[in-house]
């Protein structure tokens, strides 16, 4: 998707030197939907004149399988950031697993609490390590079968 393509591009460009608009650091990439494609990183790195193998070596990739695992990955991310310079943390998509783990209106409060905790963890990582955080979200057209907006006649 377009959102994922932007994430792939940022995973490469964050590695560029600062004078070239980059962050001069590595990328941590958390994928919740299985859309990460290393071959896309290679294509982007070629466009910027970077070594594809070096770019891939500087991207730490993890696939999250549920919302608890997604949060656990942030704990591991903090340990990695303490050891090496990371410029970017990508979470693509931040809410996808919450939609599957917490289904229905009855679980809405629990979902929102868990998601808020996850977002606070992201903020703490950004503050503590000076890393940029990029999250994507899914677009939902309808809430409960009725359109949220209707055309004005």
How would you write 63-103 as a 3-class SS string?
A: ECCCHHHHHHHHHHHHHHHHHCCEEEEEEECCCHHHHHHCC
Domain of 90: which CATH number? 3.40.50.300
Count of domains for the chain: 1
Residue 145 lies in a domain: no
Q: Which residues contact 37 (CB under 8 A, 6 or more apart)?
A: 4, 8
119: in domain: yes
Residue 148 is predicted with a pLDDT of 54
The predicted structure's pLDDT at residue 139: 72
* Contact indicator for 38, 5 with CB cutoff of 8 Å: no
Does residue 152 belong to any structural domain of this protein? no
Indicate the pTM of the whole model.
0.87
pLDDT at 143 (0 to 100) = 58
List of the chain residues with pLDDT < 70: 1, 140-153
Residue 66 lies in a domain: yes
Residue 142 lies in a domain: no
Q: Do the domain assignments include residue 153?
A: no
Query: Which residues span the domain enclosing 79?
Result: 2-135
């Amino acid at each position: 998707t377009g959102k994922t393509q932007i994430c792939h591009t940022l995973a490469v460009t964050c590695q560029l030197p600062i004078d070239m608009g980059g962050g001069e650091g590595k990328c941590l990439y958390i994928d919740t939907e299985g859309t990460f494609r290393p071959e896309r990183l290679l294509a982007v790195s070629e466009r910027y004149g970077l070594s594809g193998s070096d770019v891939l070596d500087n991207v730490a990739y993890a696939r999250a399988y549920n919302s608890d695992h997604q949060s656990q990955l942030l704990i591991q991310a903090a340990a990695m950031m303490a050891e090496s310079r990371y410029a970017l943390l990508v979470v693509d998509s931040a809410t996808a697993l919450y939609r599957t783990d917490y289904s229905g209106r009855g679980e809405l409060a629990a979902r929102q609490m868990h998601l808020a905790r996850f977002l606070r963890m992201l903020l703490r990582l950004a503050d503590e390590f000076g890393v940029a955080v990029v999250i994507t979200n899914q677009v939902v057209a309808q809430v409960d079968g009725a359109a949220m907006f209707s055309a004005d006649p």
